[in-house]
Every structure is written in C-alpha cells, then in structure tokens.
Amino acid sequence: MNTGIPQNSTTACRLSRGGSCGGGFTIIELLTGIAAVAILMAVVIHAGTAVRTSSERVSEMAAARTLGIAWTGYAMDHRGAVLPGYASGFEAVDANGESIATQTVPIAARRWPLRLAPYLGHDLASLYSGPHRDYATEIASLPDDESLYAVSAFPSFGMNSVFVGGDENFGGYSGIFLETFGRFYVDRLSSVRRPDRLITFATSRTNESTPGSTGPIREGFFRVLPPAWTLPLWADEYDPADPASVGFVSPRHRQSESEEVAIVTTVDGSVSTSTIDELRDLRRWSNAASDADWVMEPIGP
C-alpha cells in the first residue's frame, strides 16, 4: 500500500533500527568490542607471564643440576669426603690455582662457594640464576676482595650445611658436639642412607642487611637451615617478609596459580620442586632423622 512516504534506504534504516542509521556501531556494540579486546589482552598477558615463570623455573633447575654435579665432583676428588659447608681450615683456590688467603677474605674462605668454584670452572656467575642472575654482572665490577665476599655470601642456592658437610656455627667440627650428639652431619658419601631424599642445596633468600633482621629481601644466601636442629628453627607459619621464618629457603617459583615452590637438589644429583610444607619433613634434611618431626638429641651415656 502506498502511504505517500518515500521508502528510500535511509528511511528504512531508521524504521528497522529504531532511529539508528548508517554503517556505524551502536554504543552496545562498541562496549562489547572493547570488552572482548580487554579479555583477549588479559589472556595473552597471563599466558606470557606463565611462560616466563615456567622458563625461569626450568632455567634455575638446570643451574641446580650443575651445582649438584659440581658437589659430587668434589666428593669424588676427595675420596668420598663431602664438601664442608661452613668451616675454617679448608683450602679455597682462585682461577690460577693459587690459595685464597684467609686473611684476605677470612669469612668468605669458610663458605662452600669458593671451595666449589674449581668444579664450576671458576665460573662464579654460574652461582647466580633465576631472579638475580644480573647480580653476577654487578659483582664482577667490584674489587677482588669484595667480589669474593659477595660470591661467598649470596649464591642463588643455600647449602644444607647443618646436616650435610658440617657447619661451625651449628656444632660442626666441634669435639664437644660430636661427643654429645655423635656424628650428626654427613661428612662422607658412603654414610648417606637415602641419597634420593637428603637435601644438599635449596633456593635461598635473606635480608640485605643482617640475616634474620628486617629490611629489603635479597634472593640468594649461602646457607639454608633445616626446620629443627637441637630445637625448632622454623616458625609455624611462613612469613614472606622474614626469610629466617623458614630457614632462608626461598619458595620463589610458582608451579601453579597458588603453589609456591623451592628448587632443591639431593645427594644423588636429582633436582625437584617442593612446597614449604613438604620441606618441613626433617627426613629431607638429616641423615639421622627417624620421623618428620625429629629433633636432634644427645646420645646415651
């Protein structure tokens, strides 16, 4: 029926779209498009973060494997004797094979990194991996004494020196402690009962100023402490702001959305990831531990 109203394309557009015309977008269409782009960007960013996180974990696990090989190499060259964790009286040498004078860096020479350096090809940068790999470049620019101290103090992995290798600060090499508690730390490969379980190294962290104090967190520390020794050493709850709350172990990697894990190396050279709760088992730390809640006690008369 002819109404007398011209039915051109513009009029038809107005009638069919409730007043909207032309080839443009409605507000709803624009908002829908923006939302779709935002969702897509979020997915891409999340995927990129996940890939980067996974890559960092894999890279640091490779570094842990290299460290384990070097640790075993030391034992093989020393007739099965385990690398001392923190002790005086053991020689450390530089890349030229010259002894590092203890009077030059007295504390550094007691720590395991300088003694293990020859088994890493004196590539001290290899002691740094993961989040603070760039720190190796900063150390290289320091004077020799300062760089040796830094290398000895803040490697990416800490050693379980209390129960593996011995630690002078925790009764290692002490006649009184050995008489009281027996040989409570591993000093030879042949004495290890479960090489697939006993931890040698774990990712570590500390406070930049003084270990156990408050302040900025630095990833990397030469020592990791077990949950207990002659008394408990870990807090009941992990405090991310206090590395000492879990013995300076660093759960700096994510295995899933909510699971934070540390990377650990065992006597047999295996490398794996473990949560803080999994690492509360003393049988992972001590060759003598009989159960998860074990605490070192004096031997009988």
Looking at residue 47, its pLDDT comes to 42
Share of the chain above pLDDT 90, in %: 55
User: For 15-21, what is the mean pLDDT?
Assistant: 45
Evaluate if residue 57 carries a pLDDT over 80: yes
Q: How confident is the model at residue 123, as a pLDDT?
A: 87
Residue 301 confidence class, pLDDT cut points 50, 70, 90: low
More confident residue, 87 or 136: 87
112-158, pLDDT tens digit by residue?
Answer: 998 999 999 988 888 998 767 777 777 777 777 788 888 899 999 99
**Residue 43 predicted with pLDDT over 70:** no
186-209 pLDDT, tens digit per residue, is 999 999 999 999 999 999 999 876
- Mean of pLDDT over the chain: 83
Q: What is the pLDDT of residue 5?
A: 43
- The pLDDT, as a whole number, for residue 88 is 87
The percentage of the chain sitting over the pLDDT mark of 70, rounded to a whole number, equals 79
What is the rounded distance in angstroms from the CA atom of residue 157 to the CA atom of residue 151? 11
Query: What tens digit of pLDDT does each residue of 61-76 get?
Result: 999 999 999 999 999 9
State residue 212's pLDDT score: 55
Q: How many CA atoms lie within 13 A of 265 on its CB side?
A: 27
pLDDT reported for residue 30: 67
Within 10 angstroms of residue 203's Cβ, the number of other Cβ atoms is 31
Mean pLDDT of 153-170: 96
- How much is the pLDDT for 107? 81
Residue 221 clears pLDDT 70, i.e. is over it: yes
pLDDT-derived band at 93, boundaries 50, 70, 90: confident
Q: Residue 29 above 80 pLDDT?
A: no
